Structure 1
Amino acid sequence: MSKDFVVSADGHILEPIDLFKTRMPEHLRERAVWEEDFEVEPLVEGGARVFRRLHTPGFDGWTISRYRQTSGRTPEGDPEHILEDLDSDGVDACVMHPNLSIFGLYSDDHELSIAHARVYNGYLIERFLPYRDRIAPTCPIPLTDIDDAVAEIERVTSAGFKTLLLPGIPPTTYWDPELDRVWNAARDGGAQIFFHTQTGGVKMKNPSSSTMRVVKENARQVNQPVTPKSAAERLYTQSVLSTLVPQKVICDLIGAGVPERFPELHFSLIEFNAHWLSSLVGAMDKAWTTGIGQDSDWWIGSWDDDAPATVEGQSTMSRIFLLNEKWPYPLMPSEYVQRQFHVSFSDDPAAVAARHVTGVSSLIWGSDYPHAEGTFRRSQELIADQFKGVPDDERKAIVGGTLADVLGFKQPATV
């Protein structure tokens, strides 16, 4: 069997640690995202020695150990190094998102967010354009000012990039009609839309962001014995709360008719896993379908004895299932998902098993390079295990074919 053409939907560009401190407007540099490395004696035997600390309002103090799967090399801003790593992992092309700068790109301080975006996108134009045949960096677009968002979309698409990164938690809602200007600009520029986990919702005046509170609580739980309460809370946060953001994005876009009005656009949700997608598409369709046994003449509400017994008079009474028949678009929600939405996963057997409910094209694979929670260095092993028994054409679509078609990556000709 020939090797699959593999396109990872989820990689990260590790920005130079001083990128924003040196390129932001001078009056913003003290509030810019920057990082620093420090070395300690291992906290556990054989453990990590080198750590990296993030500095940015709302996330100040976020600390991680060096990505050990890079064998000591940290591929900061080096596309040639990235390509070497992709080759070693059997990945032919990769969509690559910002790394820790994600936390400074989408805040309620528009001047700060757009300045970060302009610097980062300028860096991409300067450093990554020659590698577009294999690396597709997503260009972050803050939505705190629509004029600036449209201008930045036009700048990066004119330069040659066709992948845009919008916040998972936007400052408005994705059913806001004002965002049609953003969708128009993306379509006119030939771009596609991505949303990555942990983007948006940063309040610059909140010294301890919700994400940092979660990080600290996770550390506290890991370093203590598991209790019935902590076990239940982990199940709830990992299984329920973590799926709310991507589900809301999909519901808002489909409910607003965005995929109906902009059929050229594809919307990819990255690093949210995909096990929840089958229940979402089923529930969305069910919300607009009168099922067998549901009486369309069943009334519910509050009867007004002082009003006429007419539809107009009893305005607080309704045939509750009548709403199920008022879906305003020609396709059902699940059909828009199958046509224009893609959800990435790394290791998610439930998503693979449910592919015929969600649609095969709705699932895309990503290694999360070079993050420790991803599959880098072992991606081929993961793919072989995850897709046992899956027909060749379906596996090939999920691990690369679908995203290659959406983004125009050239696949080798089949014999």
Structure 2
Amino acid sequence: MSDEILVSVDGHVMEPTDLFKTRLPKHLRDRAVWEEDLEIEPLGDDGRRFFRRAHAPGMEGWTYSRFQHFDGSPNTGDVNRILEDMDLDGITGQVMHPNLTLLWVYTDDHEWSLAHAKVYNDYVIENFVEQTDRIKPSAVIPITDVPDAVAEIERVASRGVRAILLPATPHKPYHSREFDPIWATAQSLGLVVMFHVASGGIEMEQEASRNMQGMMMAVDQAHRELTEEDVVVRMTGQGMYAALTPGQVLVSLVGGGVCDRFPDLHFALVEFNANWLAGLMGAMDKAWTVGIGQDPDYWVGKYDETLPAGEQFKMARLFKVNDKWPYPLRPSEYVRRQIHVSFQDDPVAVATRHITGIPTLIWGSDYPHAEGTFRRSHEAVDHLFQDVDPEERAQIVGGTMAKLMGFNIPTLG
């Protein structure tokens, strides 16, 4: 085990299968989300026998291999087993989010969503916040009713929570002024606001959510020979659409003035990778810059011959709007000051760190998910950070998140 400080911003809690059926208010229990554990004949030659099947809005029937502990046994969600896994994987501290819960909890049924969120929040407070200082869970906050959201933020913060988890796909843009009480409350309480991939946008009446549709498309492709169209679709999704959701959140927070109005509030975009970030920051700045060689007096529009020159309001200087950026800092400066984007295995993110800013980048293992680095986290970090300055490496893989989340790591000073 290495002495390096690794603080992962992206771990996941395996919720008990009957958590919501046993804890929801009684009038909602017949609509509770639940899972069932299955032991089946291996579907292939890998010997995997332990599965779970979900019963949740938009995810009904979704069945997946049980995630494992370091020794290969099914992950139970027990705090002591997780701490053992962290020790074996060299993880100093970990921010943990829901597993299946984050895929369905943000729905258009506010009472139902809030009730499930409170149950989940109580569970992680009891089992993690109150049990160890090496794991800091985020609290799930539905935002379809702002006063309720504020009350739940205040409640979980009073019990030791340091991060709140909001949907990556909200029902309204995050620059809507209606959300200002949420930002004000989080800032006053010193909380970090996080958005995790694949969260939000669930409609209770929709049989299959976008998450489910995307997963089933991947299943279908795995069973047949890929066509050229399949290759194009996959690369389009991974290379273009995957950056759309985090980009919209980031632009909304910066362009909508949230970062300017709440300068002490920090935001984290989790498990979106960060290879797209440098390009977006450059484009955001470019939208408000007249470039070298561009003609600032170039006019465009529709000229009306019946009107005098002083009344040609359908004509304008093309680049005049570039000078109208309404905030004191440039877009990229707000990103570097307040926004953090996580990755797990993303060499482009590391290569562009001096464009995005070192504190903007944070690392996560995605424990214990199959697409993460669990069991080989130090190997992955060593591969990513070859020839990187040790101080920059330390800040990205642990220092920034440790300080934001208040992990007690004396060697950080």
The answer to whether TM tops 0.5 is: yes
> How far did residue 72 of structure 1 move?
4.0
Which runs of structure 2 are paired with 1:331-346 in the superposition (5 Å)?
Answer: 331-346=329-344
Q: 1:89 to 1:327 in 2, by over 3 A?
A: same
SS at match of 1:315: coil
1:92-141 CA-partner distances (Å, limit 9, x unpaired): 00000011011232011111111111111111222222245211100011
Task: Tell me which amino acid in the other structure corresponds to 2:153.
Answer: I
* Post-superposition offset of 1:308: 2.7
Shift of 1:414: 6.8
Tell me what 2:46 maps to. Answer: 46
Please point out which of 383, 408, 411 is paired with 2:409.
411
Asked whether the 8 Å contact 1:55–1:61 carries over to 2, the reply is yes
Counterpart for residue 242 of structure 1? 242
- In structure 2, the residue matched to 1:121 is 121
CA displacement 1:322-377 (0-9 Å, x = unmatched):
11111111111111111111110110001100101100111101000011110111
Deviation at 1:68, TM superposition (A): 4.1
For residues 305 and 347 of structure 1, the distance between their equivalents in structure 2, rounded to whole angstroms, comes to: 60
* 2: CA distance, partners of 1:241 / 1:72: 34
Q: How does 1:12-411 map to 2 (within 5 A)?
A: 12-68=12-68, 70-131=70-131, 133-310=133-310, 313-411=311-409
Q: Structure 2 counterpart of 1:337, which letter?
A: V
Question: 2 CA distance for matches of 1:300 and 1:76?
Answer: 64
CA distance in 1, matches of 2:69, 2:94: 18
- Tell me the distance in 1 between the aligned counterparts of 2:70 and 2:36: 18
Cα distance in 2 for partners of 1:367, 1:383 equals: 10
What is the percent sequence identity of the aligned residues? 53
The residue type equivalent to 2:264 in the other structure is E
In structure 2, the CA distance between the partners of 1:77 and 1:2, relative to structure 1 (3 Å rule), is closer
Q: Give yes or no for contact 1:343–1:362 (8 Å, CA) kept in 2.
A: yes
Distance 1:104 1:354, change over 3 A: same
SS state at 2:312 partner = coil
Deviations 1:185-244 (A, max 9, x none): 111222110000011001111112222111111111111101111011110001111110
Contact 2:5 2:398 in 1 (8 A): yes
Shift of 1:76: 3.2
**CA 1:232–1:160 in 2, change beyond 3 Å: closer, same or farther?**
same
Preserved contact between residue 399 and residue 412 of structure 2 (Cα < 8 Å): no
2:132 and 2:178 map into 1 onto residues whose CA distance is 31
- Runs of 4+ in structure 1 over 4 Å off: none
CA–CA separation in structure 2 for the residues paired with 1:70 and 1:101: 23
Question: Distance in 1 between the 2:247 and 2:27 partners?
Answer: 38
Q: Work out whether residues 31 and 56 of structure 1, in 8 Å CA contact, stay in contact via their aligned partners in 2.
A: no
Q: Is the 8 A contact 1:18 1:34 kept in 2?
A: yes
CA offset at residue 69 of structure 1? 5.3
In 2, Cα distance between the equivalents of 1:40 and 1:81? 24
Distance in 1, matches of 2:98 and 2:135, equals 13
Shift of 1:27: 2.5
Cα pair 2:343 2:364 within 8 Å, conserved: yes
Distance 1:31 1:72, change over 3 A: farther
Q: Report the secondary structure of 2:273's partner residue.
A: coil
What secondary structure, in the 3-state scheme, does the structure 2 residue paired with 1:367 have?
Answer: coil
TM-score by length of 1: 0.96
- Asked whether the equivalents of residues 32 and 104 of structure 1 are also in contact (C-alpha less than 8 Å), the reply is no
Q: Secondary structure at the match of 2:108?
A: coil
The amino acid of 1:343's aligned partner reads V
Deviations 1:55-95 (A, max 9, x none): 11211011111224543434434211111111111000000
Structure 1 letter corresponding to 2:383? D
Q: TM-score, normalised by structure 2?
A: 0.97
Residues in 2 aligned to 1:88 and 1:329: alpha-carbon distance in whole angstroms: 47
Aligned residues: 413
Letter in 2 for 1:367: S
Q: Distance in 2 between matches of 1:370 and 1:237?
A: 24
One-letter identity of the residue aligned with 1:408:
G
Q: CA deviation at 1:142?
A: 0.6
Q: Matched residue of 1:136: which SS?
A: strand
Residues 8-59 of structure 1: CA deviation (Å, up to 9, x unaligned): 0100011111101111122322322211111221111233111111111211
Task: Verify the 8 A CA contact 1:31 1:57 in the aligned structure 2.
Answer: no
